[in-house]
Amino acid sequence: MINNSYAKINLAINLIKKDENNYHQLDMLTSKVKLYDKIEIKLAKHKNIKLTCSNRFIPCNSKNLVYRAANLVLTKYNIETGLDIKITKYIPIQAGLGGGSANAATTIEMLNKIFKLNMTLEDKISLGEQLGSDIPLFFHNGVCRVQGYGEKVSIVNNLLKDMVIVLVKPNRGLSTKQVYQNVNLNTCNHPNVDLVVKALENNDYPLFIDNIANSLEESATSLKPLINEMIDELYHLGIDKCIVCGSGSTIVGFTKNKDVALKIKETYYNKNNFVFITKMI
């Protein structure tokens, strides 16, 4: 079985507070986009989980979320069959696009079908939560509002589907842990997520553009100033609004002009940066 494993972008992230265990409560909006890895799973005669990946920088052992997701399902449902799993990567790593988490969620979905486990959505979410707080959102399609520590997920009715989205990433990524540790909640941006939801539900592009923001952006750009330089260039090229995606280092640009998107793609392709034109799913 081969399935697509879709990346996500953030439309808004508001970090509300940090608790005594250094975990952040948040309010954010995410959406899957038409950029995906491919996951292939085959039943094997051996009794192990054998993982291969097209990206040589990604570990193919128990440190990999796909390996851990597969092992979790096999253990929970007392399945002794071995698995050969192949990941073909198109989503860049250390990009804030959720590639690893998406791959884990896709693996759970695929094993549910392969072994006819009849998991409910709640079953899948419960497994995902054991692997990472952002994995449950990948079991949903469309725009999701994620609150608390990532455990509260609700669907937003998105009518703003004609936007063109441009993803641009510097050649080097950022550490999620380092970006979160570097956040200053007193000085970072705190977007009004309610207004972004209102914009999506009412097909109000100007309201959307005025209110999307990311509390992590100040931290990400201080750690990698090149991001700010790229954002300035994207505005010069005609993009309507840019925000850093997740903890970075990908920049998400929004426009309704396909020609602007194509000009940006040509510019950054010639600079050997990752650049991709897409839309929300």
List pLDDT tens digits, range 208-264.
999 999 999 999 999 999 999 999 999 999 999 999 999 999 999 999 999 999 999
**What is the DSSP code string of 135-150?**
SGGGGS-SEEEEEETT
Residue 269 has pLDDT above 90, yes or no: no
Residue 187 has pLDDT above 90, yes or no: yes
Residue 20 has pLDDT above 90, yes or no: no
Q: Are residues 19 and 151 in the same domain?
A: yes
Q: Are residues 56 and 83 in the same domain?
A: yes
Q: Are residues 115 and 42 in the same domain?
A: yes
| Selected catalytic residue, list 8, 32, 124, 224 | 8
Q: Are residues 176 and 249 in the same domain?
A: yes
Q: Are residues 143 and 267 in the same domain?
A: no
Q: Are residues 86 and 10 in the same domain?
A: yes
Domain boundary among 126, 155, 184: 155
Dihedral sign for Cα 243, 246, 250, 254, please.
negative
210 is catalytic: no
Total domain count, the chain: 2
Q: Are residues 109 and 209 in the same domain?
A: no
Q: Are residues 206 and 179 in the same domain?
A: yes
CATH number of the domain to which 206 belongs:
3.30.70.890
Q: Are residues 190 and 132 in the same domain?
A: no
HSE at residue 92, side-chain half, CA atoms within 13 A, is 21
CATH number of the domain to which 30 belongs:
3.30.230.10
Dihedral sign for Cα 219, 55, 101, 230, please.
positive
The pTM of this model reads 0.94
Nearest CA to 96 out of 186, 184, 10, 183 is that of: 10
Q: Are residues 149 and 161 in the same domain?
A: no
Q: Are residues 177 and 98 in the same domain?
A: no
134 is catalytic: yes
Q: What is the pLDDT of residues 53-97, one digit of tens each?
A: 999 999 999 999 999 999 999 999 999 999 999 999 999 998 999
Which residue range forms the structural domain that includes residue 108?
2-155
Residue 172 has pLDDT above 90, yes or no: no
Domain boundary among 113, 131, 155: 155
| Selected catalytic residue, list 32, 37, 89, 134 | 134
Distance, CA of 21 to CA of 18 (rounded, Å): 8
Domain boundary among 155, 190, 208: 155
Q: What is the pLDDT of residues 123-137, one digit of tens each?
A: 999 999 999 988 999
Q: Are residues 14 and 130 in the same domain?
A: yes
